[in-house]
Amino acid sequence: MKHIDIWHDIVARNSSLSLIFEDDAVFVPNFREKFDRTIYTAIHTGILKIGGLVHCMNNQTRLSANSNEWFEQDPMISIGSCMQMHDGAFAKNRKDAPPILSTHKKSATRCMHAYLLTACSAQALILQSAAKKTRFLEPDLFTNVQVAASPTLQSFWLDPPIVYQGNQIHDFDGIPSFKQKTY
């Protein structure tokens, strides 16, 4: 319920962009720089349209269930991970793999530990929640169902993630963003 309360708050404030994270989030080194680059890239590629509710998609425009739409959508960007899931195009075995943003309509979340919403995407989540009644599910699964059914929502994943679930981290060196450099 806390996630849904936050979505309502984002809409009430007409927030251009909001970062939501859970209480045991662990941020990678140089988080701020990586976060800033993510936002810059999302704006310049057309994923994010900053400006509040005036940029919302109308429900007449429909994304298909298999859509990889980048431009005509209300975005949700997952910057966190708790399940060691990556997009298939991300070269997770390369130490110098460039970061990527990828679309995920059917499996919107790999974790609700850290994600970005605009006022439009928060509003779309609320509207979809009212339109598609779903039995009680944990936030990850609930949001997957809502995004997949939504006519306007599109989920994006950032790889590598820049936030991890604290109780899932046993070996920081096993996470590429935490690896220590040796010279």
**Per-residue pLDDT tens for 23-47?**
888 899 999 999 999 999 999 988 8
d(CA 160, CA 140): 19
Judged against a pLDDT cut of 50, whether residue 153 lies above it is answered with yes
Span 148-171, mean pLDDT? 81
Instruction: Annotate 163-175 with b (16+ C-beta within 10 A) or e (fewer).
Output: bbbeeeeeeeeeb
Judged against a pLDDT cut of 80, whether residue 181 lies above it is answered with no
| Nearest residue to 150 via CA among 46, 62, 86, 55 | 62
Q: Where are the domains of the chain?
A: 1-57+72-80+108-132+143-165
Give pLDDT, residue 183. Answer: 44
